[in-house]
Structures are given as C-alpha cells and as structure tokens.
Chains A and B, each alone.
Chain A
C-alpha cells in the first residue's frame, strides 16, 4: 500500500515537471509582458523605425511564428534572436506572433505593386 503512494506521488511529481517544461520559463506571462523584451529593437507596437530591424506590426502571424521557431531551433542564425527565442515556449511564440500580427502597421503584400502598377 505504501509503495502505491510512493509511485503515485512520483508520477504526480513527474507530470508537474513535464507541464512546467511545456509551459516554458514563464508559463504565466501574457504576450504583452513578453513583448517588452522585443520593444527595444522592434518598437512597442512592432513598428520600430531602426531600419536594421524588421517591422513586425501587421505581419502574418504564421510567418512570425515560423521565424521565431527557426531562431529557436537554429535554422535561422542570429545571435540576438536566438537568445530571446530559446527562452520561449511554443505557446509563448504563438502568443507573441499573434500579438504583433494584430498591431496596425504599414506592411503590405505586393499585390498592388507589380510592374505596371504604381
């Protein structure tokens, strides 16, 4: 009987650990809180004006998500972005990508800008 309790508590403990790992370093942080790190370069609303860094506001959320995943897994090499992305869970990445995709911005696709148009 005692051993069942030990096994049960061990299993519970492992499950908790697994959940914590799934949630990343900061499971409770909202996208707005997470975005404070990004703001230094990309601007608080994702419309950073330093031309070196990309505008994020109004970008497709799945492209932003993909970019962060690639920084995290090393497919895209950038020392600064790797440092930040590696601290993010999948849920954090999804939340941040949606946060910036929803911000009003100036990005546009080229459907109005083909040769022959303006």
Chain B
C-alpha cells in the first residue's frame, strides 16, 4: 500500500511538472512576484512622490507601469556602466540579469488602478 501511495505521489509530481512547464517557459521574461520582493530598495527614491535627484536637480522618473524591455535595457546599461548615474550604477551592479528581469516584470505589471489601493 505504501508503495502504491509513493507511486501516486510520483505520478502526481510528474503530472504537476507537465502542467507547470508552460510557466517555466515564461521564466526568461522575469517573475513579477520575485521582482516585487526586490523593489524594496527602489522605493527609497522612486517610491517617494516628487523625489528629486540632486546635482543636477530633477525629479527621479516614475518607473511603475514602464515598459518591460525598456526597464531591462535601462538596468542592464546601468549595470554595465553605459548609463552614468552613480546611484543607479551601484544598484545595477548589485543585480543579476535574472534580478533585472524579475524587477522589470514587476514594475511593468503595475497599473494605475492597482496604485489606488
């Protein structure tokens, strides 16, 4: 009987893997749930409405709801040092390519209606 139970578990696990497979195929695009946990640091500047960059003085961009590929490119450019902003370069350097995709997936998933909460 335990052997049958084990077989059932194995079968169930295999079946679950099959159904889960399409989700894994999307992994290349980043997981918004994982990204959500990573944006905590971003909020220090991008989560303060009207927060200003100093020298030169301008407001840091609104990044919620921005397009996915653009965000991946921007963070990757900071990581590689191709975009100059010192704080953002430091952030970019601390992120793996997978982190960047996850963050971009979360940020691009934000909508104004979700921000009303």
Chain A residues, CB < 8 A from B65: 55, 105-108
Partner of A54, one of B40, B42, B66, B112: B66
Nearest A residue to B108 via CB reads A51
Q: In the docked arrangement, what's the CA distance between A81 and B114, Å?
A: 32
Interface residues of A in 83-113 (CB under 8 A from B): 105-113
**Residue contact A52 to B69, C-beta cutoff 8 Å:** yes
Contact B117 A112 (CB under 8 A): yes
Instruction: Please determine whether B67 and A111 come into contact, CB atoms closer than 8 angstroms.
Output: no
Beta-carbon contact of B115 and A60 below 8 Å: no
A82 CA to B47 CA in the complex, in Å? 30
A62, chain B: closest CB distance, angstroms: 4
Size of interface on B: residues with Cβ below 8 Å to A: 40
Smallest CB–CB gap between B12 and chain A, Å?
32
**Complex Cα spacing A52 to B51, Å:** 26
CA distance A92 to B48 in the complex (A): 29
Query: What residue in chain A is nearest B48 (Cβ atoms)?
Result: A111
Report B64-80 residues with CB < 8 Å from chain A CB.
64-70, 73-74
- Interface size on A, as a range, is 20 to 34
A63 touches B39 (CB 8 A): no
A residues within 8 Å of B by Cβ? 48-55, 58-60, 62-63, 65-66, 75-77, 105-115, 117-118
Q: Can you list 27 A-B contacts with CB-CB less than 8 angstroms, sorted by A residue number?
A: A49-B67, A51-B67, A51-B69, A52-B70, A54-B70, A55-B65, A59-B61, A60-B58, A60-B59, A75-B84, A76-B84, A106-B112, A107-B62, A107-B63, A108-B64, A108-B112, A110-B42, A110-B43, A110-B46, A112-B114, A112-B117, A113-B43, A113-B110, A113-B114, A114-B40, A114-B43, A117-B117
Excluding A107-B64, A117-B117, 17 further A-B contacts by CB distance (< 8 Å) are A50-B67, A51-B70, A51-B108, A52-B69, A55-B65, A62-B59, A75-B84, A108-B62, A108-B115, A109-B47, A109-B63, A110-B39, A110-B64, A111-B48, A113-B115, A114-B47, A118-B114
